[in-house]
Amino acid sequence: MKYEHKLLTPLLAVFAVAVGFPLLYSFWLGFTDYKLVNSGATKFVGLQNYISVLSDGAYWSSFATTTAYVLLSVSLELIIGLSIALALQKQKWVKDLTRSVLLAPMFITPIAVGLMFRFFLNDQLGAIPNFLKQLGLSYDFFGPGRALISLAFIDVWQWTPFMILLLLAGLESIPKQPLEAARVDGANSWYSFRRITLPMLSPVLVVAILLRGLDALKVFEYVFATTRGGPGTETKTIQFLAYQTGITYFRLSEASAMAFILLVVVLAIIVILFRNLEKASTR
């Protein structure tokens, strides 16, 4: 065994215990009839759970809800985060203070953020509806067609700082020479941004989008604290559905199948994304 491979051994051992075992065990559960309140022996049921999940309209409805949530929140975070990162890059005074204040939402636990917004958006007691009332406006933040948007905005409030952090680091690592050369050649700011900054920032952008996308896929706390999946099932995300199925309804084997189907879809997206990025980088 080579020296560098030996160095990897402790990490691989920890990985096998901390990630490998739970992963394999939950994978195995997906092929059984295991329930948290099983009184008899657990039986192997083959693909039954997977077939049941794949043919369940509720699962695909939650899948669509989660996809809409991820697309909306991550897009907004990217646009707002990039705008703020570009502004911060140009900032000259009180840089440290501004950056630390902007990062503050990231350090609050998501369940607390969910509860906080539940009260902020409460029509009788919340600061935001009260402000809107003074302007003569009324808005049902958790009404049909709106609740998912409100949840995405909560995500934007909390996680745009993360996007700023990554993009700012990316922007500051871009060499100055190409930008200066473009300026000397008469390129305007928009042209330089579009043709130089964005292409050079693209590896960081992809990673930032991927990390935020994966994190947004996990959305559970905001749903739990504010809507519990409502109105009806409009904000029932995959993680909330898996929690209900596995923990509330005890059907852990079915919840495991749900999670692995999602995992396969996510892995496929990641692989396609990185293949495209590799192709682009070799061009």
Partner 1 sequence: MSFKKRTITALGALAIIGASALVLSGCSSASTPAPSASSTDPAAMTGTVRILMEDVPDSDIVKSLIPEFNKVYPHVTVSIEKLVYDQMRDKLVASFQAPTPSYDLIVVDNSWMTDFVDAGFLQPADARIKATPNYDPADFFTSLTDITKVNKVRYGVPFYNYALGYIYNSDIIKPSEVPTTLDGLVKLSQKITTPTMAGLAMQPQTGYKIMEEWTNFLYSAGGSIYTGTGKANLDTPEARTALNKYIELYKTAAPKNSLNWAFDDAFRSVSSGGSAAMVSYNWNLAALNKPGSGPYAGKFKLAPMPGGKSALGSWTWSVPTNSGSPDASWAFASWLTSKAIDVKRVVAGGAAIRASTMKDPAVLADAYGADYYSTVTKILSNAAPLTEGANGDEMIQSVGEQLNNAVAGTKSVSDALKAANDAIKTIQKR
Residues whose CB falls within 8 Å of the CB of residue 252, separated by 6 or more in sequence, listed in order: 29, 34, 35, 36, 246
Minimum distance from residue 52 beta carbon to partner 1 (Å): 11
Instruction: Assess contact for 121 and 150: CB atoms under 8 A.
Output: yes
Minimum distance from residue 189 beta carbon to partner 1 (Å): 26
**Which listed residue (8, 14, 23, 108) binds partner 1 by CB under 8 A?**
23
Q: How many angstroms separate the CA atoms of 22 and 3, rounded? A: 29
Q: Which of residues 124-143 bind partner 1 (CB under 8 A)?
A: 124-125, 129, 138-143
Identify the sign of the CA torsion 22, 26, 27, 29.
positive
Q: Minimal CA–CA distance to 148: which of 243, 69, 218, 73? A: 69
Q: Which of residues 221-240 bind partner 1 (CB under 8 A)?
A: 226-234, 238-239
Determine the angle formed by the axes of helices 252-282 and 21-29, rounding to 10 degrees.
120
Minimum distance from residue 107 beta carbon to partner 1 (Å): 19
Q: Minimal CA–CA distance to 121: which of 97, 146, 104? A: 146
Residues whose CB falls within 8 Å of the CB of residue 168, separated by 6 or more in sequence, listed in order: 85, 88, 89, 99
x/- mask, partner 1, residues 81-120, rule CB under 8 A, reads: -------------------------------------x--
Minimum distance from residue 142 beta carbon to partner 1 (Å): 4
Question: Site residues (CB under 8 A) for partner 1?
Answer: 19, 22-23, 26, 36-39, 118, 122-125, 129, 138-144, 147, 203, 207, 210-211, 214-215, 217-218, 220, 226-234, 238-239, 242-244, 246-250, 252, 255-256, 258-260, 262-263, 266-267, 270-271, 274, 277-278, 281-282
